[in-house]
A and B are shown apart, each in its own frame.
Chain A
Amino acid sequence: NAGVTQTPKFQVLKTGQSMTLQCAQDMNHNSMYWYRQDPGMGLRLIYYSASEGTTDKGEVPNGYNVSRLNKREFSLRLESAAPSQTSVYFCASQETGRNTEAFFGQGTRLTVV
């Protein structure tokens, strides 16, 4: 079972460069999320998508854009990377409902120099 797959696993960018983090899930879940994980900060929600074609801002959306082109895939784009975006990024998916488990990808470790 693949579950939630993120690519790439590691990336180094120069300040000002752009890139897209890819995420795909094979569990037919409606909801998908992008989080960033920073030391001492836990996980903070960047963007989420409740269903195909809809996206909403989370707690820390500045500097990011997202795209939910279909039910499986939810991508996160950094248009002009900044050192403050150095972090570990996690994608997650979840079936709709307050008691349902969220499934996480293995993460992308991004360094912006």
Chain B
Amino acid sequence: GDSVTQMEGPVTLSEEAFLTINCTYTATGYPSLFWYVQYPGEGLQLLLKATKADDKGSNKGFEATYRKETTSFHLEKGSVQVSDSAVYFCASTIYNQGGKLIFGQGTELSVKP
């Protein structure tokens, strides 16, 4: 069945460090892919998305490229800030079920000054 796998956290970085959070998916067909972010005490909010192979989603300095050949959608940021501390979720649409999403387990990021 469809699934999403993320690298385990927590990830702890110093301010201005480079961030990569790995995400791979297994899916029937060609899903749309998303990164959501959850700040402490809040619900999830969309960070970026990509809807077809080789698309790059970007927002707030974060980027992710839809790689069909490696079934990956890794999240990157060149220089993290303390305010980026949050839990990040990778998600994929499920084949033939409209926009219904399946989520990875989440990766907690902590950025230290």
Q: Which residues of A contact B (CB under 8 A)?
A: 4, 31, 33, 35, 40-45, 48, 50, 90, 92, 94-107
Contacts of B105 in A (CB 8 A): 40-42
Q: How far is the CB of A24 from chain B (nearest CB, A)?
A: 14
B5-49 Cβ-contact flags toward A at 8 Å (1 or 0): 000000000000000000000000001101010000111111001
Q: Are A45 and B100 in contact (CB under 8 A)?
A: yes
Q: How far is the CB of B89 from chain A (nearest CB, A)?
A: 7
Q: Which residue of chain A is the closest to B6 with respect to CB atoms?
A: A42
Pull 27 A–B residue pairs with CB atoms less than 8 Å apart, ordered by A.
A4-B43, A33-B100, A40-B105, A41-B105, A42-B89, A42-B105, A43-B89, A43-B106, A45-B100, A45-B102, A90-B43, A90-B44, A92-B43, A94-B99, A95-B99, A96-B98, A97-B98, A99-B49, A99-B51, A99-B99, A101-B34, A101-B46, A104-B36, A104-B45, A106-B42, A106-B43, A107-B43
Contacts of A33 in B (CB 8 A): 100
Q: How large is the interface on B (under 10, 10 to 19, 20 to 34, 35 or more residues)?
A: 20 to 34
Q: Which residue of chain A is the closest to B93 with respect to CB atoms?
A: A98
Q: Which residue of chain B is the closest to A42 with respect to CB atoms?
A: B105
Q: Which residues of B contact A (CB under 8 A)?
A: 4, 31-32, 34, 36, 41-46, 49, 51, 89, 93, 98-106
Contacts of A100 in B (CB 8 A): 99
Q: Which residue of chain B is the closest to A96 with respect to CB atoms?
A: B98
Q: Are A98 and B99 in contact (CB under 8 A)?
A: yes
Other 19 A-B pairs with CB < 8 A, given A44-B103, A50-B98, A105-B43: A42-B103, A42-B105, A45-B100, A45-B102, A90-B44, A92-B44, A94-B99, A96-B99, A97-B98, A98-B31, A98-B51, A98-B93, A101-B34, A101-B49, A102-B99, A102-B101, A104-B36, A104-B44, A107-B42
Bound complex: CA of A71 vs CA of B27, how far in Å? 30
Q: Which residue of chain A is the closest to B106 with respect to CB atoms?
A: A42
Q: How far is the CB of B25 from chain A (nearest CB, A)?
A: 13
Of all A-B residue pairs in the complex, the 7 with the closest CB atoms, nearest first, are: A104-B43, A42-B105, A43-B103, A104-B44, A42-B103, A101-B46, A99-B51
